[in-house]
């Protein structure tokens, strides 16, 4: 999650500074997820036939929404950087849990 916040933070900073649009991180994450799904489909399934449910991209949407909401409520880039960056990291694993949960099945030995 450390490197994944760079593009949404940059897009959010530019859109907030120039146009006062507070949904820049969500817009950037939607574009990143679209590109990642295209990459996963054509490269992992199209070339090597990996199951698509094993090579899913990480879900960054909950962190982006919280980042945008913190900027909208506080109107402060400094507070958004500190609190929003913390929330981005803390929401990364719980945001991916609905995707990972079906893969957590008990292993059956000797059966």
Q: Which CATH number is 92's domain given?
A: 1.20.1450.10
32 assigned to some structural domain: yes
36 assigned to some structural domain: yes
Number of folded domains in the chain? 1
Model pTM score: 0.87
108 assigned to some structural domain: no
Q: How far apart are CA 110 and CA 40, in angstroms?
A: 35
List helix spans (H) across the chain.
6-19, 24-39, 46-48, 61-74, 77-79, 85-90, 92-100
Q: What is the pLDDT of residues 19-65, one digit of tens each?
A: 999 999 999 999 999 999 999 999 998 999 988 888 888 899 999 99
Domain that holds residue 68: 6-99
- Six-digit token pair at 53? 């449910």
């Amino acid at each position: 999650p450390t490197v994944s916040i760079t593009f949404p933070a940059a897009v959010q900073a530019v859109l907030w500074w120039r146009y006062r649009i507070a949904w820049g991180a969500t817009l950037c994450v939607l574009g990143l997820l679209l590109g990642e799904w295209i990459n996963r489909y054509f490269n992992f399934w199209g070339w090597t036939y990996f199951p698509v449910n094993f090579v899913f991209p990480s879900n960054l949407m909950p962190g982006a929404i919280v980042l945008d909401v913190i900027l909208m409520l506080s109107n402060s880039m400094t507070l958004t950087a500190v609190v929003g960056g913390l929330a981005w990291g803390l929401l990364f694993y719980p945001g991916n849990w609905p995707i990972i949960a079906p893969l957590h099945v008990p292993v059956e030995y000797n059966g």
